[in-house]
Structure 1
Amino acid sequence: MTPATTPGGASVPPVTARQRPGRGAGARPLALARFLFIAVLALELILRARTEAPFLTVGLLWAAVFAAVTALAITLVAGLLPGRARDVAVGLALAFLTLLFVSQLIYYDIFGTFYTVFSATNAGQVAEFAADIVGKIAENAWWLLALSVPLLVFVGSRFRAGPRRRASWRQQAVTAGMLVLLVGGALAGINLGDRGQNSAYDTYYRDQHPVTAVNRLGLVTSMRVDLQRNLLGLGGEKAPPAAVAPPRHTPDGAVTEEPPADGARQTSGARGEPEREAAPEPNVLDIDFDQLAAEEDDDELRALHEYFAAREPTVQNEQTGRFEGYNLVFVTAEGFSHLAVDPEVTPTLHRLTTEGFRFTDFYTPIWGVSTSDGEYVATTGLIPKSGVWSMYQSGDNAMPFAMGNQLGRLGYATLAYHNHTYDYYRRDVSHPNLGYDYKGLGSGLDVTPTWPESDVEMIELTMPEVLEQEPFHAYYMTVSGHLQYNFGGNFIAAKNRELVEDLPYSEAGKAYMATQIELDRAMELLLEELEEDGVADRTLVVLSSDHYPYGLTREQIEELEGHEVDDVELYRNSLVMYAPGMEPVTVDEPVASMDIIPTLSNLLGLEFDSRLLMGRDVFSDAEPLVIFSDRSFLTDMGRYDAVAQEFTPAEGVEVPEGYRQAISDEIDRRFYYSAMILDRDYYGVVVDR
């Protein structure tokens, strides 16, 4: 083809098919958008396949719709750039998405959930888990390669392609118009569709459960919503409807009448005439929520006042003050589970769980930030806010019901210890605010820096300080039970390997038991120190877990359990509340880690307000309620799977009409108002006022 010339005689390159305006040129942005749509959707599908998320759900439709939105958005932005700059921009976008999906897949494989934007921006200490991450990368090599295919295809195709012109304004307008129409249609569909728990609407506009959000909306959109809500402060959640009491019931399911308004009950007098017994004292502080609501101009604070005014407080009972004046040792044990309790292998843990309060139906739900959120629930009685580190975020708030603050006000020495890096999850901020003189590795606690560190060594180093003055309250966050459960990279497992060689388990099962032997020996040493110092008979020992041992696969947990485990039993656990010499007491109704603080407050005879805690005193007449992070729940009436939206009544129980919905509505309120307590420093408003 002969080059054309300009009027001045200069030659002009011929117009090729690649450069010629018309159908081919106009289609190029849409061709890129099609490729990006296929790429993003492929990433979403691969992640679902690896994490075993359901495919045949409406969530897959929304993942596809938002994949198209992402593709058009990248195309629109890249179209503002010329030639190679456009290729670089698209390549960087694809590289970012690939890294996002790769890191989330690895994170999920380790922790059983997805990380949030907040966690990603506060992940400076992730290098401490480098060995675990490398191991998971090796295990998932083929999955990671599959996630890299779209990026590799794009890079390969761009090397072969010639130069391209900047997209025309007409092409940009078409892309922008399609983007606006698709976003508008998606939002309309979400708003007109199901608005129930865990629906697309629920996860888009309300507090997110990371796994459910990814399942319903796709990873890209769930993280974008998380970013705008928790980091940028956009699109805050609206308050749920006002509380309506669920139908009351007896254990056999019969609906009962409401009690007398003043809480008193009638008995027969000496002459056969009815007389009224004095109503038991409620566990409340002197807070007039109604007056506070009437005087409040702030809508959010007024809603908080009105909600807590409507809540029924628990009342004092036969266990109130049973351990008043006792010393308290409170342990949150990394990865502890009833699976680790064995009369031969872990005799001290067996003693603690059988000779104190016996909780036969106890659960430790896992939350979005695993260990830190589990610790937050156990030490505050509140539900963590999704998307942030609630324990760290509470560091500037009033936290009057934490044991350190409650007992510190009574003159107790209040000490807290963690045998791993002292500022991990910013415990250096949160734990002093909970009322503790806090020490950890690198700040006052000189344990040997192995991985993980020894619980036994932590007890050896700290008990002399704890026993220096009485009354005392010592809080421990252990680390010996941490994953990975193997004998190659886990120092504690290797240390105790000989003690588990004859157990009939896989290597992972044996390694897990080896880590729990370290906890068992630590608790044995703690009891010995209390006994030798002469304070054992006036010391209450409490031990619970931060979460179930998710470092084990479902099959490995079933191996230790001895039978198949369903999605509720997966979170079943042990709770220790033990004082030497006490008569064992069995608690056979559902109990959760959120109930620890109100129960302890009652046992120790402390002044607290039960209306301001999301758990309950298990010895009160409050009905049991175990809440899971996806808003499923368990009561003595049955269990509800909020994802499948299925309620299964307990055997032989007749469930009152409207019961399930009433419980679900109350759970929505508890999630919302727990977050508001954190965000608005509500305890500082009504308790420390």
Structure 2
Amino acid sequence: MGLPYARLVFHIASFIYLEMLFRIWIFRSLLGIGTLYSVLFAIPAGTLVYILSSVFKERVNRVLSWVVIVIYTLPYAVQVVYYSVFRTFLSLYSVTGASQVLQFWQQILIAIVKSLPILIPMSVPLVFMLVFGMKGFSFFRLPPRLLAISCGGTAVLHFLPVLVMCGTGQGVYTPYDLYFRTPAPELSMQKLGMLTSMRLDLKRLVFGFPSESDDGEPPLKDSTAQNEPEESEPPVVPVDVPIYKPNIIDIDFDRLTDNEKDKTLLKMHQYFSQVEPTMENKYTGMFKDCNLVFITAESYSHYAIDKDLTPTLYKLANEGFRFHNFYNPAWGVSTSDGEYVACTGLIPKSGVWSFFRSAENWLPFTMGNQLSSLGYSTRAWHNHTYSYYKRDVSHPNMGYIYKGVGNGLEIKKSWPESDLEMIDVTTPEYINNEKFHVYYMTVSGHLNYSFTGNYIAAKNRELVESLPYSEACKAYLACNIELDRALELLITRLEEAGVADKTVIAMSADHYPYGLSLKDIGELAGHKIETNFELYKSSFILWKKGMEPVDIHKPCSSLDIIPTLSNLFGLKFDSRLLMGRDILSDSPPLVIFSNRSWITDKARYNAPKGRVENLIDTDLPEDYVKSINKMINNKFLYSSYILDNDYYRHVLPPED
């Protein structure tokens, strides 16, 4: 007969132990309010597990006690392995796509091996139960009266940390805000713990998402702009100065508001009617009637640009628009969310596959839908499995005839597949069209970065062998040589067809090269990488043959690509309905990261640390940080509303 309540203490201690291991491994620290909440929520969790394994006969309880340890240890292990690969956390919704992820079983196996230093300690509670607990613990069935008392006690223990939250502030990104309103996975993991974050993810997946911190206030007007002195009289504008109009579509929001009965749609009409639009500018229509090749390049970054190694990338990056402060934030669903941001100008919704979810929605501002309505032929390709991330349903909805490996794109079977081959076999399908727009999602830059198991890296190994880098860095560059050669062939084909001077190439990455360790990235950068901002700095290529180079120093991101391209092509679009901003407009910059950090022309805000860095010589305007946080919360919220409510169909219904 074992100690009567030792098993209760064991389960509570196991949860606390796993939370602390997870926190140390992922966040490298136990300092912070998150440690307190991890402990407080671990107590009722351990108590509940004890109760569940104490309601049956002793033999069943004995087996059940071992099984539940496996069940509650597994999520910690899975998150650690997933984070080691993608540098973000796994949502429960993404588990539905696990069969697709198994295509990369070799990468998963490598990640498991690399994570053994933390996975082995995580198995300690399981081993302890098998070796000592089965004999040393008591597994008696709880009497009904004691069971009822235990359940009541568990409820009280659960509400204790909730009461602490209520008494310690309810502002933006506080534990209270993350628990009740704002679904921000990274901040939640850090400030509430893994267990609570996963529980909230499950709750939101089943019952829907909260309304974040929307309070019905109108959107803030250009909080990122410089304060302008008031003028008693309107300024006199010289006759030779062009007058620019706002990039908006005539939407009767007053009528929509008066006739709307749905509360969410009513809030959306009120919100978007007051959003500050971006203005036309001297670049409006610069690319009007040009062809467009739009590329999302797997794990591409500015580290891949080299005058000798990747001369075409170097040419495109330096002879077109040169964006010196472009960022490519990583989002929750890796490549798919990265594509979604670049192709729609919207922020992905946390906890779901936003691109797949958007497949039933009307997306009038994707380049495919905008240009196809003007008579362009519009096609898209991906040189890996055509249905991966459900692209076979999301990409046709953007206005493209879509092909991938398995539904029409015939290329050599390898891992990863060749970008060069994809360009070679697809250009004949459109190069002679009068006007064309094509979209490519490449794959040659995919991890793992080694010369064994990566066909592209091995193929180009000789070209990087003499470089003074580690194998991972050399393999990464070798993979991007394939992208460089693909672009070289593309330009050659455009030249041969006589359309190079009227074709625009726009290219950004889906995410930073997370297949490289921080040490590897620092090796390419030549210094240790700052991980909240600098890690996501990247390259946006926007080039047309013969154009004069234009240097752009304002901070910008992949969220800004769609409004920027729409303005350059002189398209009719409504900038109020997009979350990004035309980079070339006079609108103040705003770079938004998935963890709710941000960069403007005045400051940088590190949300996990709650730290503000002033970038100007004077003090920040009063409540500046608070107002930007509010603006960003609204963008996350209303972007998810657009996805959930098919909002564009309500305000801009398709003509057919």
Q: Normalization by structure 1: what TM-score? A: 0.91
Rounded Cα–Cα distance in structure 2 between residues aligned with 1:389 and 1:234: 14
> Please, which moves more after superposition, 544-553 or 157-166?
157-166
Q: Deviations over 1:319-361 (max 9, x none)?
A: 1111111110000001000011010111000000000001011
Query: Are 2:104 and 1:140 aligned?
Result: no
1:531 and 1:399, CA in 2 relative to 1: closer, same or farther beyond 3 A? same
Query: Are 2:281 and 1:311 aligned?
Result: no
Query: Are 2:519 and 1:519 aligned?
Result: no
Rounded Cα–Cα distance in structure 2 between residues aligned with 1:244 and 1:422: 40
**Counterpart for residue 421 of structure 1:** 385
Correspondent of 1:231 among 193, 206, 210: 206
Q: Deviations over 1:92-112 (max 9, x none)?
A: 221112221111111111111
Correspondent of 1:470 among 413, 434, 438: 434
How far apart are 1:161 and its partner, in Å? Answer: 5.5
Q: Deviations over 1:69-113 (max 9, x none)?
A: 211111222222111211222222211122211111111111111
Q: Deviations over 1:620-678 (max 9, x none)?
A: 11110000111111011121111111111115344222222111110010000001000
Letter in 1 for 2:451: F
Rounded Cα–Cα distance in structure 2 between residues aligned with 1:621 and 1:628: 22
Rounded Cα–Cα distance in structure 2 between residues aligned with 1:508 and 1:527: 29
The higher radius of gyration belongs to: 1
How far apart are 1:493 and its partner, in Å? Answer: 0.8
Q: Deviations over 1:122-147 (max 9, x none)?
A: 21112111111111222222321111
Rounded Cα–Cα distance in structure 1 between residues aligned with 2:363 and 2:332: 21
Residues 248, 257 of structure 1: 8 Å contact kept: no
Rounded Cα–Cα distance in structure 2 between residues aligned with 1:109 and 1:179: 34
Correspondent of 1:553 among 512, 517, 526: 517
> Please, which moves more after superposition, 609-618 or 44-53?
44-53
1:242 and 1:356, CA in 2 relative to 1: closer, same or farther beyond 3 A? same
**Counterpart for residue 457 of structure 1:** 421
> Please, which moves more after superposition, 166-175 or 145-154?
166-175
Rounded Cα–Cα distance in structure 2 between residues aligned with 1:277 and 1:586: 22
Letter in 2 for 1:359: F
**Counterpart for residue 617 of structure 1:** 582
> Please, which moves more after superposition, 406-415 or 181-190?
181-190
Rounded Cα–Cα distance in structure 2 between residues aligned with 1:247 and 1:613: 15
Rounded Cα–Cα distance in structure 1 between residues aligned with 2:181 and 2:506: 35
Q: Deviations over 1:379-406 (max 9, x none)?
A: 0001110011111110101111001111
Q: Which runs of 5+ in 1 are unaligned?
A: 1-16, 19-23, 270-275
**Counterpart for residue 42 of structure 2:** 67
Residues 209, 368 of structure 1: 8 Å contact kept: no
How far apart are 1:234 and its partner, in Å? Answer: 6.1
> Please, which moves more after superposition, 501-510 or 236-245?
236-245
> Please, which moves more after superposition, 298-307 or 180-189?
180-189
**Counterpart for residue 130 of structure 2:** 155
Q: Deviations over 1:542-586 (max 9, x none)?
A: 000111111112221111111232231111111111000111111
1:577 is paired with a residue whose SS is strand
Rounded Cα–Cα distance in structure 1 between residues aligned with 2:416 and 2:547: 34
Q: Deviations over 1:207-257 (max 9, x none)?
A: 32322211111111101101111233265545345235357677xx6x213
Correspondent of 1:648 among 604, 613, 624: 613
> Please, which moves more after superposition, 216-225 or 132-141?
132-141
Rounded Cα–Cα distance in structure 2 between residues aligned with 1:241 and 1:562: 47
1:380 and 1:240, CA in 2 relative to 1: closer, same or farther beyond 3 A? farther
Query: Are 2:236 and 1:266 aligned?
Result: yes
State how 1:363-402 maps to structure 2 within 5 Å.
363-402=327-366
1:164 and 1:349, CA in 2 relative to 1: closer, same or farther beyond 3 A? closer
Query: Are 2:319 and 1:349 aligned?
Result: no
Rounded Cα–Cα distance in structure 1 between residues aligned with 2:250 and 2:534: 40
**Counterpart for residue 280 of structure 1:** 244
**Counterpart for residue 596 of structure 2:** 631
Letter in 2 for 1:33: L
Letter in 1 for 2:229: E
Overall identity of the aligned pairs, in %: 46
Residues 229, 236 of structure 1: 8 Å contact kept: no
**Counterpart for residue 641 of structure 2:** 676
Residues 392, 402 of structure 2: 8 Å contact kept: yes
Letter in 1 for 2:120: L
State how 1:563-574 maps to structure 2 within 5 Å.
563-566=527-530, 567-574=532-539
**Counterpart for residue 272 of structure 1:** none
1:653 and 1:519, CA in 2 relative to 1: closer, same or farther beyond 3 A? farther
Query: Are 2:228 and 1:256 aligned?
Result: yes
**Counterpart for residue 631 of structure 2:** 666
Provide the alpha-carbon RMSD of the alignment.
Answer: 2.0
1:299 and 1:59, CA in 2 relative to 1: closer, same or farther beyond 3 A? same
How far apart are 1:534 and its partner, in Å? Answer: 0.8
Rounded Cα–Cα distance in structure 1 between residues aligned with 2:221 and 2:588: 11
1:186 and 1:579, CA in 2 relative to 1: closer, same or farther beyond 3 A? same
1:67 and 1:162, CA in 2 relative to 1: closer, same or farther beyond 3 A? closer
Residues 224, 601 of structure 2: 8 Å contact kept: no
**Counterpart for residue 6 of structure 2:** 31
**Counterpart for residue 4 of structure 1:** none
Rounded Cα–Cα distance in structure 2 between residues aligned with 1:119 and 1:249: 35
Letter in 1 for 2:637: Y
Q: Normalization by structure 2: what TM-score? A: 0.96
Query: Are 2:56 and 1:81 aligned?
Result: yes
Rounded Cα–Cα distance in structure 1 between residues aligned with 2:576 and 2:231: 19
> Please, which moves more after superposition, 182-191 or 213-222?
182-191
**Counterpart for residue 469 of structure 2:** 505
2:594 is paired with a residue whose SS is coil
1:124 is paired with a residue whose SS is helix
Rounded Cα–Cα distance in structure 1 between residues aligned with 2:275 and 2:395: 29
Query: Are 2:263 and 1:293 aligned?
Result: no
Query: Are 2:551 and 1:586 aligned?
Result: yes
2:123 is paired with a residue whose SS is helix
Residues 207, 386 of structure 1: 8 Å contact kept: no
1:125 is paired with a residue whose SS is helix
> Please, which moves more after superposition, 170-179 or 437-446?
170-179
Letter in 1 for 2:27: E
Letter in 2 for 1:662: S
Query: Are 2:336 and 1:336 aligned?
Result: no
Letter in 2 for 1:498: E
Rounded Cα–Cα distance in structure 2 between residues aligned with 1:440 and 1:260: 61
1:667 is paired with a residue whose SS is helix
Correspondent of 2:323 among 352, 355, 359: 359
Letter in 2 for 1:148: S
1:231 and 1:412, CA in 2 relative to 1: closer, same or farther beyond 3 A? farther
Rounded Cα–Cα distance in structure 2 between residues aligned with 1:153 and 1:673: 48
**Counterpart for residue 182 of structure 2:** 207
How far apart are 1:160 and its partner, in Å? Answer: 2.7
Query: Are 2:96 and 1:121 aligned?
Result: yes
Number of residues paired by the alignment?
653
